[in-house]
Structure 1
Amino acid sequence: MSRVHIELPDGTSRDYSAGTTALEVARDISERLARQAVAAKIDGLLTDVTTPLERDSRLELITLESPEGLEIYRHSTAHLMAHAVKTLFGTEVQVTIGPAIENGFYYDFYSETHKFTPEEFDAIEARMAELAAADLPIRREEMTRESAIQLFRDMGETYKVELIEDLPNPTVSLYRQGDFVDLCRGPHLPSTGFIKAFKLTSVAGAYWRGDEHRAMLQRLYATAFPDRKELKAHLQRLEEARKRDHRKLGRELDLFSFSEEAGAGLVIWHPKGALLRTILEDFERREHLKRGYDIVMGPQLLRTDLWKTSGHYDNYRENMYFTEVEGQGYGIKPMNCLSHMIIYKSQIRSYRDLPLRFFELGTVHRHEKSGVLHGLTRVRGFTQDDAHILCTPEQLDGEIKGVLQFVRDVMGIFGFEYELEISTRPAKSIGSDRDWERATSALMEALKDTGLPFAVNEGDGAFYGPKIDVKLKDALDRRWQCATIQCDFTLPERFDLSYVGADGEKHRPVMVHRVILGSIERFIGVLIEHYAGNFPLWISPVQAVVVNVTDNQAAYARQVFNELRAAGLRVRHDLRNEKLGFKIREAQVEKIPYMLVIGDKEMEQGTVAPRHRSGKMLDAMSPADFVRFVLEECKNYH
């Protein structure tokens, strides 16, 4: 029998008989590793742990402690859920797809007669537990496309048939566990007995293959972890996330709303929400002016010819809205860059003028499908803190680093940690390979010089250039895409932008597209959830409420209110003939930072008794001292 030479990650190697499985190698190393191994990498290719080793190879054993192992665990649990659903509902339900996602998985089902409800989750989980306890082996099979099509057609699984018909390969892989079989690339766990802790979380609708013209499916979301302790901790985080949901808090705090009368994905800002937004926008203007940006403004509509020149019409028009005025086509802007380039072209530029930094709080509109709209974090109309830096190639490195420092400063103010990711050229793009290489290299070199770690996201750049994406980590350790830095050699070429260099000749500038907070709407949604609605004093739309104990103090309470408002504080009063405890509780529900209690003692002494929303009482102080107290706490943000 022939032998194979197997190299292990620690640099050691061992020889085995050809056909030895990765699991048998694990057992040869240690019984503990054999119990923990859920998959293998053979020469870098992820595969089942039962895969035989037929040639000299490099072998890495995958455990649940690795991200890959956890993803396999969750994908196998998705199959387990589909198995349970089929045993409970039979031919009444068809299976479609069930991938692993961050912190869990989902599976899409089609049924003409059955509608899933949360009340059924317990029964599905109970059946999943039975199938897991049975420790059913999970086995891979390969068969011809034609045989697989016939197999699933006989089972009445038409969605699986469609998937196989679209596959180009002559053979396909299936996975069986007990009497359940599913189309899948794999790999999977060795058996259902590895699955220990899971929980169904919600049900939602989803179009087949994301096409709104195809059938509506039912998507069961769930989560799974290797042990119950991790699952419990995750479920507690989910419960906290539900409490912090910006859509829920937005209603409760009366910040914003949506209306079907107005249209889906279009935000209506209420007084407190509009004030919160204004505070953030004023902060943005100050921070940009300090860093040498010029504030500009462009129109909402631009002629379609301009969008064709820029490449948006060919590469982005499915996300745009178009209209016609007096026979001339116009596009509602999804981005602000075109107006900024027109400003640049309005006069001859010298190398001495550069860099130019144009900043606009520009409202844009994008055609998002209704199925992906989600509160403030995915809307059709939003405002970006958009800027475009036009500079010489020699200035590019410094400008990118300047934006990275800007991001660091601002995220520090809000208390956000963040991760960085470079997204490279997508399949649908414009520009030369040389320009893309220059742009990508510029972003990477700037990050390397600053010592900031980053990941690479292949093929997810903008159609005109690569980008650095900044992913914020909120209080629940969730990631949110907000800031981005894009490097663009292509649009300056398309719009024939130039500057006169020191040599008296024309040269092409480079363009940096960047946002710091990103969409103001999205960022406010993130802030609401990050702070659970308890905004820091400096951005709270209402910083304090003046409350009287009885009607005897009403006149003095109005006097205090007027004094605080005149000093620039965002304050309101509650002089209703209600019990003090009721008014305090209501202010706490509204998450107002300070309640200024006024009784007879305060009225006699000309003071207020500040109470923080946490319940902490401050020493009595004069209204003027309270103004100074608030301004001192807020001074670092002005």
Structure 2
Amino acid sequence: MVTILIDVNGEQLSFPKGSTGLQIARRIGLLPDMLGLTVNDVVYDITRSIEEDATIRFLTWEDALGKQLFWHSAAHLLAAALESLYPTVQLGMGPPIEQGFYYDVDLGNDTATTLDTTLIEEKMLALAQRGDAFIRRAVSKQEAIAFFKEKGNGYKLELIEGLEEGRITFYQLGDFIDLCKGPHLPHSGWIKAVKILTIAGAYWRGNIHNKQLTRIYGIAFPEQKALAAFLALRAEAARRSHQKIGKELKLFTFSEKVGLGLPLWLPKGALLYDILVQFLKKEQIKRGYQPVCTPHIGHKALYLTSGHYEKYQEDCFQPIHTAEVEETYLLKPMNCPHHCEIYSSAARSYKELPLRLAEFGTVYRYERHGALHGLTRTRCFTQDDAHIFCRLDQVKDEFSAVIDLVLHVFNILHFTDYKAQLSFRDPKQDKYIGSLADWSLAEQAIQEVVTAKGLQATTVLGEAAFYGPKVDFMVKDALGRNWQLGTVQLDYQLPIRFDLTYIGTDGQKYRPVMIHRAPFGSLERLIAILIEHTAGNFPFWLAPEQVALLPLSDTYATYATTLYRLLLEREIRSVLDLRNETIGKKIREAALQKIPYILVVGEKEVETGYVSVRKQNKQISMLWDDFITQVCSEANLPS
């Protein structure tokens, strides 16, 4: 006898073994909005019977898991359409992703250029309108192998090799059958709107040594107006693309000769980068951080000691072997082991703690070619890294103070919509180091700090660092997209691995606790997010170019040059446009460069001491002295 429990308006109802989600939903009047359900937190088809004691929760389109189930089903619809339209296609894998789904396929005799996306969309909708049920069927390994051998699909056969007997399922949709563990919608009729978004290349199973397949990205919705809203948002996101705006504003570039994923900061971008660094350095000084600087390489033994090499060796660049002696070095993949060595360079007393070491340290990770994306995913990036070494009784206060710093940064950068994610250890995984007692202590401390601060937080198992739990902050940008920015991590393990100690009040040695923190996350990713959040319209203090001076003609160039020099003396970042162009063109180009203040200098300005100021398409006239006072005040780094 099993018990299936569901909470309905505060009342727990139970149902007998073998009930399906669909039967339960009908009995309690929840149809027709239910897409699927979770059974003990595992997503199930709504038509699948429940054979164990379980707590269930129904999923709708409004649930993130409901969307994933919906898009997974749409991926099968895409595959069915492809098999119908392109007889030589061989299917690879087709998972849901954060926004939509994709399917990797071998097109056989066809090529990506021959795909007709409109035809594919029409076929998907035609299949959807049939309302065929998604039928789950458990099969033996032998049956699965025989089925795909007959179809000549080596990709599915390779996947089946890694599956255990008794854990293999097929899903059928009309005449289409696919290897899949599910779950799916009750039927295809839920899918009312589809769109093929992009077509790209992708190596089979992400391995560059495998054949390159065609990856078809798509999205689907339960109503047409939702697709229209998505496409409008997508168009706005394209308009705000940090790669597009970064090129237009001449902030950064990439060169294949330098290397993939290695950004080159142009003068204006370097200014933006440096202003953010100076802002955070100012905040860190006020909070008692001490600057340190560490090399861009480190001995392999350093990362073996920390445990990073074992966990991340595939993400490290190839080791550098010295010719003179047997030594192996790595491009620095993280800063924390270096900071541990700085801590251990001197005997420490309890009176010195907390010791807060901060560095804007550039690190190097070998991101795969297909994962690289502008500034959001690069192969070198600069972390606003700091490590706090403290006593056990200082942990909560220090962790709380770091959260205060993170939230202050968000406030200054106008990220007002954010959530905290408690990234904890998953007891089912074995990727962690250290004792369960230490992990329990660390997670409890984090939970207590977050609760005391009244932060809106969710707990996610399995997202902890290998050495300790953390709080990750998710910010929502102007388009409603979520980004992971600041992170604060609590670490009891690296001090053990590096044998870090301090002398306590009783003269005995004690182990410090380590807090890792990065309010920005990385400068590159933060700048990408800021560009898209503001559409390149940075606040005045952050704008790489703050004032443009545009003389009406050469007659007023001398006076404009005088004003320009006065602005530079006050450290106002200014540009002087002396080109032989019309004033209209100069104004348009300055506006396109997102320069906050545009000053037009002509006869009136020379004679009266006033300046004609344009800001956001509005024009006012004000005394030069008043303008200088105003911009100097606005230019101060925020605090």
TM-score tier, shorter chain, comes to over 0.9
- 1:47 & 1:391 partners in 2: Cα distance? 46
Change over 3 Å in CA distance of 1:265–1:5 after alignment to 2: closer
SS at match of 1:564: helix
- 1:54 & 1:374 partners in 2: Cα distance? 45
- 2:3 & 2:270 partners in 1: Cα distance? 68
Stretch moving more, 42-51 or 204-213: 42-51
| Pairing partner for 1:314 from 299, 310, 313 | 310
Partner of residue 224, structure 2: 228
Residue 588 (str. 1) matches residue 588 (str. 2) = no
List runs of 5+ in structure 2 lacking aligned partners.
none
Q: Where in structure 2 are the equivalents of 1:51-90 lying within 5 Å? A: 51-52=48-49, 60-90=57-87
**C-alpha contact (below 8 Å) 2:289/2:356 kept by paired residues:** yes
SS at match of 1:264: coil
Partner of residue 132, structure 2: 136
> Shift in Å at residue 543 of structure 1?
0.2
SS at match of 1:72: helix
- 1:94 & 1:591 partners in 2: Cα distance? 49
Partner of residue 512, structure 2: 509
- 2:499 & 2:42 partners in 1: Cα distance? 47
| Pairing partner for 1:34 from 20, 31, 34 | 31
**C-alpha contact (below 8 Å) 1:4/1:53 kept by paired residues:** no
| Corresponding residue pairs, total | 630
SS at match of 2:619: coil
List runs of 5+ in structure 1 lacking aligned partners.
none
> Shift in Å at residue 56 of structure 1?
8.2
- 2:392 & 2:19 partners in 1: Cα distance? 57
Q: Where in structure 2 are the equivalents of 1:81-230 lying within 5 Å? A: 81-90=78-87, 92-117=88-113, 120-170=116-166, 172-230=168-226
| Pairing partner for 1:601 from 592, 601, 604 | 604
Q: Where in structure 2 are the equivalents of 1:202-601 lying within 5 Å? A: 202-321=198-317, 322-325=319-322, 326-327=324-325, 328-416=327-415, 417-425=417-425, 427-601=430-604
SS at match of 2:520: strand
Change over 3 Å in CA distance of 1:268–1:596 after alignment to 2: same
> Shift in Å at residue 37 of structure 1?
2.8
- 2:349 & 2:286 partners in 1: Cα distance? 23
Change over 3 Å in CA distance of 1:422–1:575 after alignment to 2: same
The letter for the 2-side match of 1:550 is S
- 1:456 & 1:118 partners in 2: Cα distance? 46
Change over 3 Å in CA distance of 1:627–1:115 after alignment to 2: farther
- 1:15 & 1:393 partners in 2: Cα distance? 49
Residue 47 (str. 1) matches residue 44 (str. 2) = yes
CA displacement, residues 23-48 of structure 1 (integer Å, 9 cap, x when unaligned): 34433444xx4333332445655332
> Shift in Å at residue 529 of structure 1?
0.9
Change over 3 Å in CA distance of 1:471–1:42 after alignment to 2: closer
**C-alpha contact (below 8 Å) 1:466/1:488 kept by paired residues:** yes
Change over 3 Å in CA distance of 1:267–1:138 after alignment to 2: same
The letter for the 2-side match of 1:232 is A
- 2:266 & 2:493 partners in 1: Cα distance? 41
Change over 3 Å in CA distance of 1:587–1:84 after alignment to 2: same
> Shift in Å at residue 57 of structure 1?
6.7
Residue 634 (str. 1) matches residue 635 (str. 2) = yes
- 1:601 & 1:196 partners in 2: Cα distance? 63
SS at match of 1:299: coil
> Shift in Å at residue 171 of structure 1?
5.0
SS at match of 2:618: coil
SS at match of 1:513: strand
- 1:560 & 1:619 partners in 2: Cα distance? 15
Change over 3 Å in CA distance of 1:566–1:119 after alignment to 2: farther
SS at match of 1:231: helix
> Shift in Å at residue 20 of structure 1?
6.0
**C-alpha contact (below 8 Å) 2:138/2:166 kept by paired residues:** no
CA displacement, residues 66-92 of structure 1 (integer Å, 9 cap, x when unaligned): 3332222111111111111111111x2
- 2:506 & 2:587 partners in 1: Cα distance? 70
> Shift in Å at residue 184 of structure 1?
1.4
- 1:517 & 1:102 partners in 2: Cα distance? 23
Change over 3 Å in CA distance of 1:29–1:391 after alignment to 2: closer
- 1:42 & 1:304 partners in 2: Cα distance? 45
SS at match of 2:101: strand
The letter for the 1-side match of 2:82 is V
**C-alpha contact (below 8 Å) 1:569/1:627 kept by paired residues:** no
- 2:50 & 2:321 partners in 1: Cα distance? 65
SS at match of 1:292: coil
SS at match of 1:146: helix
> Shift in Å at residue 350 of structure 1?
1.1
**C-alpha contact (below 8 Å) 1:118/1:202 kept by paired residues:** no
CA displacement, residues 363-390 of structure 1 (integer Å, 9 cap, x when unaligned): 1112222221111111111111111101
Q: How high is the sequence identity, in percent, across the aligned residues?
A: 44
Stretch moving more, 38-47 or 549-558: 38-47
- 1:29 & 1:307 partners in 2: Cα distance? 57
> Shift in Å at residue 598 of structure 1?
1.0
> Shift in Å at residue 261 of structure 1?
0.7
- 1:419 & 1:14 partners in 2: Cα distance? 34
The letter for the 2-side match of 1:616 is K
- 2:466 & 2:14 partners in 1: Cα distance? 48
CA displacement, residues 491-517 of structure 1 (integer Å, 9 cap, x when unaligned): 111222111111111111111111111
When normalised by structure 1's length, the TM-score is 0.94
**C-alpha contact (below 8 Å) 2:572/2:635 kept by paired residues:** no
- 1:191 & 1:36 partners in 2: Cα distance? 13
Stretch moving more, 289-298 or 448-457: 448-457
- 2:258 & 2:94 partners in 1: Cα distance? 36
> Shift in Å at residue 559 of structure 1?
1.2
CA displacement, residues 373-416 of structure 1 (integer Å, 9 cap, x when unaligned): 11111111111111110110100110000000000111100011
CA displacement, residues 321-360 of structure 1 (integer Å, 9 cap, x when unaligned): 3213332222221112223222222222111111010111
Change over 3 Å in CA distance of 1:176–1:441 after alignment to 2: same
SS at match of 2:406: helix
**C-alpha contact (below 8 Å) 1:24/1:34 kept by paired residues:** no
- 2:257 & 2:78 partners in 1: Cα distance? 39
- 1:583 & 1:605 partners in 2: Cα distance? 23
- 2:247 & 2:602 partners in 1: Cα distance? 32
- 1:423 & 1:309 partners in 2: Cα distance? 24
**C-alpha contact (below 8 Å) 1:547/1:598 kept by paired residues:** yes
The letter for the 2-side match of 1:187 is P
When normalised by structure 2's length, the TM-score is 0.94
**C-alpha contact (below 8 Å) 1:118/1:203 kept by paired residues:** no
- 1:246 & 1:601 partners in 2: Cα distance? 40
> Shift in Å at residue 459 of structure 1?
2.1
> Shift in Å at residue 554 of structure 1?
1.3
The letter for the 2-side match of 1:424 is F
Partner of residue 620, structure 1: 622
**C-alpha contact (below 8 Å) 1:315/1:429 kept by paired residues:** no
**C-alpha contact (below 8 Å) 2:90/2:108 kept by paired residues:** no
> Shift in Å at residue 251 of structure 1?
1.0
Stretch moving more, 129-138 or 301-310: 301-310
SS at match of 1:71: helix
Change over 3 Å in CA distance of 1:113–1:249 after alignment to 2: farther
The letter for the 1-side match of 2:199 is V
> Shift in Å at residue 427 of structure 1?
2.8
- 2:195 & 2:380 partners in 1: Cα distance? 36
- 1:503 & 1:155 partners in 2: Cα distance? 75
